[in-house]
Structure 1
Amino acid sequence: MWFLYVLSWLSLLLQVAFVTLAIAAGLYYLAELIEEYTVTTRRVIKALIWFSSVVHVGLLLFERFPALLVASGLLTNLVYAGLLPAFPGVPASPAALLACLLVVLNHYLAFQYFSEEFYLFSEVLAYFTFCLWLIPFAFFVSLSAGENVLPCTVQPADDVVSNYFTKGKRGKRSGILLIFSFLKEAILPSRQKIY
């Protein structure tokens, strides 16, 4: 009896490891796509903001959600839309800080509401996915896309083009892609060619 119990825990650990690896690979692929197609990513995030706003209005009209919860969600979406003109470089501006604070506030209001009202777990998960997590996740994954844009200013006596090619920055990554590359090399080290 104890042998199967131990095997079940070992299989659970193995499954968690595989799921974690699959999520990391998916995030790495998404970060690569976002870095390559920043204009399309901006359009997708804009469509997600509109979709989330429609969901909030639908929850107010059809499900009788509290007006404060819906209003804070719509205000957050408005702040997200204000971040889009500077995309892919999410600035360290008051708007970005306000968006982070509103995410925390929305989570607090949602936890408070769902602790008082009974909903199925799948319904709560749907609310959190479409109204709270989808857009911040899209901004989070796209953080590395803004690091590879050309510089806007030139330092005195600094030639940007020749400096770029002489330092060999073409193969380097930074930000979230650097982390994913490091994890990929740590888990699956590449083979060295022997001549």
Structure 2
Amino acid sequence: MWILPLVGYLGSVLGFCFLTLAIASGLYYLSELVEEHTVIAKRLLTRLIYIIIGIQSVLWLVDGLPLLLTLLGVGSHFVYLGNMRRFPFVRLTDPLFLASCVLVLVNHYFWFRHFSDAQQRSYSRLSSMYDQPDIPSFTEIASFFGICVWLIPFALFVSLSASDNVLPTIGSEQPSRDDGGKNKRQGMVKVIVDYVLSGIGEVSRLAGWKKPEERF
């Protein structure tokens, strides 16, 4: 068969493009929701941080997850909690924000290595092919990473766009303004999406797929 594999490759590329557009649209919509409901978003994120700290503590007490990694995860979420003190105004050069970015990668690396090592040890102790390894399933590991490792950093990343239309208050950052006096603070998600779309448009124009706009 020659044509069917090509159709499969084409479908995979189209599916990846549609999935990327769906994720970008979802992030854009979430950023709009955070802009409109900043107080609710801050309260929800704060409660989520405490809930995840409780989940990690229970996992250590009941399921026997490593104490050091649990302390690392709990400490990381307390650092994430520090970003809420000026929410939704988050400076990209803030040491607390930079520490949060580093801790996300550190948590992912050590937890991934822990589950990988546990899987190797479990398979090495099997005496026959009929024995069942005592390891978490893929769904359990993926859920742990999604909830306990990536949920709060991802939510904080989306919430960076909440500062677009928030009115300044006493003791908060003053939003930047353009020459007309309008608030022009741009969110992180919107900046990335608009930058990608503008880049695609520029490539299309250079390739001749899109004609430049006529100027009078």
Q: Which TM class, normalised by the smaller chain length?
A: 0.7 to 0.9
For 1:174 and 1:46, how far apart are their aligned partners in 2?
A: 20
Is the aligned partner of 1:44 residue 2:44? yes
Instruction: Name the amino acid aligned to 2:104.
Output: V
Unaligned runs of 5+ in 2: 120-135, 202-209, 211-216
Report which stretch shifted further, 87-96 or 167-176. Answer: 167-176
Residue by residue, what CA displacement relative to the aligned partner does 1:30-81 show, whole Å, maximum 9, x if unpaired? 0111111111110111121022112201210221100011110110111111
Residue by residue, what CA displacement relative to the aligned partner does 1:71-100 show, whole Å, maximum 9, x if unpaired? 101101111112212100124433222222
How far did 1:104 drift?
Answer: 2.2
Query: What residue is the counterpart of 1:68 in the other structure?
Result: 68
SS of corresponding position for 2:64: coil
For 1:172 and 1:104, how far apart are their aligned partners in 2?
A: 28
Unaligned runs of 5+ in 1: 154-159, 190-195
Q: 1:103 to 1:175 in 2, by over 3 A?
A: closer
Residue by residue, what CA displacement relative to the aligned partner does 1:120-176 show, whole Å, maximum 9, x if unpaired? 2111111110111000001101112224444579xxxxxx9xx96961636884543
User: What does residue range 9-88 of structure 1 map to in structure 2 within 5 Å?
Assistant: 9-88=9-88
Residue by residue, what CA displacement relative to the aligned partner does 1:8-44 show, whole Å, maximum 9, x if unpaired? 1111111111111111110100011111111111011
Instruction: Name the amino acid aligned to 1:31.
Output: S
How far did 1:6 drift?
Answer: 1.0
For 1:165 and 1:108, how far apart are their aligned partners in 2?
A: 42
Instruction: Name the amino acid aligned to 1:28.
Output: Y
Contact in 2 for aligned 1:60/1:70 (Cα 8 Å): yes
User: Higher Cα Rg: structure 1 or 2?
Assistant: 2
Q: 1:126 to 1:175 in 2, by over 3 A?
A: closer
Q: 1:35 to 1:110 in 2, by over 3 A?
A: same
Runs of 4+ off more than 6 Å: none
Query: What residue is the counterpart of 1:133 in the other structure?
Result: 150
Q: How many residues are paired up?
A: 181
Query: What residue is the counterpart of 2:4 in the other structure?
Result: 4
Contact in 2 for aligned 1:34/1:41 (Cα 8 Å): yes
How far did 1:179 drift?
Answer: 3.2
For 2:41 and 2:110, how far apart are their aligned partners in 1?
A: 29
Contact in 2 for aligned 1:147/1:175 (Cα 8 Å): no
Q: TM-score, normalised by structure 2?
A: 0.73
Q: 1:58 to 1:107 in 2, by over 3 A?
A: same
User: Percent identity of the aligned residues?
Assistant: 39
Instruction: Name the amino acid aligned to 1:97.
Output: L
